[in-house]
Copies of this chain bind each other. A is one copy, B any other.
């Protein structure tokens, strides 16, 4: 281990001068600085980050608190992490990754993480409609930026995808195509994004004067339950002519269900999926999808946090990214059999 004092001895100067020369931001003769820099290079000196942090009270690191549970296929999170990591690397900030089950005591992990001074701030993911972590972090003055929003009371900085707008746009497209019975397949309603996505669905119906039929709406679906719900949805006499799926696996389940029921997509059943990825692009037919800028979200949320750490007094930023829809082969006007047309 080579320390400042080794460099100091090498160049015959004091520890102080070496420190100043290396961190740069003080007055030290240009010649001296160069000499010191060379010596440090030669000795392959790397400042001990722990000692530095202890003194400066900055960890030069942020923490990313992610959910541990993922479906087998999940292209979103890797892109997202890539965005976060990219921004951190560019700014010389370390990234600590914490993947904790939400089953653990809510803020316990975060405490260990943030209050032990390991990180200067936190990136929070998978925000719940009422998320206890937010109050906890605010109470303890831990800087953080959320990816996602609680149901209401947004007194914290965040960057989120405007799920409501994305879904609304998609459902409006289905309505424009002539669909009136549009099913909604949603994820765990605990999370904020579920709330907003379903909200977008309701808004679209409301604006179009189409009544909301609770039988067409299923939330909290998982890979285990999706196929069953789709089957019952498609087998009824007043089946939907279109399905909005809040996740890729729900869309794939819809596709399977249609196939099993003898319905062809898009002629007998239109499908739009939230979150675009290779899986839904490669399906047969390729699915019309609402696409989020995965990597961009990670970059944005990381940049927001780093900015906040550098300029704590700046007013808090809340940013909404608008997803865009790619129309592919899974959407068409409804074609009904006579019996259905009566309804």
Contact B278 A118 (CB under 8 A): no
Flag whether A70 is at the interface (Cβ < 8 A): yes
Q: Which residues of chain A (78-98) have a CB below 8 Å from chain B? A: 78-79, 81-82, 85-86, 89, 94-98
Residues of B within 8 A of A282 (CB): 252, 279, 282-283
Nearest chain-B residue to A71 (Cβ)?
B278
Contact A111 B284 (CB under 8 A): no
Contact A117 B82 (CB under 8 A): no
Flag whether A77 is at the interface (Cβ < 8 A): yes
Contact B118 A72 (CB under 8 A): no
Contact B99 A96 (CB under 8 A): no
Contact A116 B278 (CB under 8 A): no
Residues of B within 8 A of A50 (CB): 50-51, 53-54, 59, 117-118
Interface string of A48-66 (1 = CB under 8 A from B): 1111011000010100100
Whole-angstrom distance between the alpha carbons of A99 and B94 in the complex? Answer: 11
- Closest CB in chain B relative to A203 CB, distance in Å: 31
Number of A interface residues at 8 Å Cβ cutoff, please give it.
48
Contact A85 B97 (CB under 8 A): yes
Nearest chain-B residue to A94 (Cβ)?
B96
Contact B59 A70 (CB under 8 A): no
Interface string of A102-138 (1 = CB under 8 A from B): 0000000001100111100000000000000000000
Flag whether A190 is at the interface (Cβ < 8 A): no
- Closest CB in chain B relative to A294 CB, distance in Å: 9
Q: A97-B96, A98-B85, A282-B282 are in contact. Are A116 and B78 (CB under 8 A)?
A: no
Contact A49 B283 (CB under 8 A): no
Q: Which residues of chain A (251-299) have a CB below 8 Å from chain B? A: 252, 277-279, 282-284
Whole-angstrom distance between the alpha carbons of A116 and B111 in the complex? Answer: 25
- Closest CB in chain B relative to A326 CB, distance in Å: 14
Q: Which residues of chain A (30-60) have a CB below 8 Å from chain B? A: 44, 46-51, 53-54, 59
Q: A77-B78, A86-B68, A111-B46 are in contact. Are A98 and B99 (CB under 8 A)?
A: no
Flag whether A75 is at the interface (Cβ < 8 A): yes
Flag whether A74 is at the interface (Cβ < 8 A): yes
Partner pick for A89 among B54, B94, B99, CB 8 A cutoff = B99
Flag whether A25 is at the interface (Cβ < 8 A): no
Contact B94 A47 (CB under 8 A): no
Nearest chain-B residue to A48 (Cβ)?
B117
Partner pick for A284 among B61, B78, B284, CB 8 A cutoff = B284
Nearest chain-B residue to A115 (Cβ)?
B46
Residues of B within 8 A of A75 (CB): 72-75
- Closest CB in chain B relative to A83 CB, distance in Å: 10
Flag whether A318 is at the interface (Cβ < 8 A): no
Flag whether A19 is at the interface (Cβ < 8 A): no
Contact A279 B86 (CB under 8 A): no
What are 7 A-B pairs at a CB distance below 8 A? A46-B111, A50-B54, A50-B118, A72-B278, A89-B100, A94-B96, A278-B279
Q: Which 7 A-B pairs have the closest CB atoms?
A: A73-B278, A85-B99, A46-B115, A50-B53, A49-B116, A50-B54, A46-B116
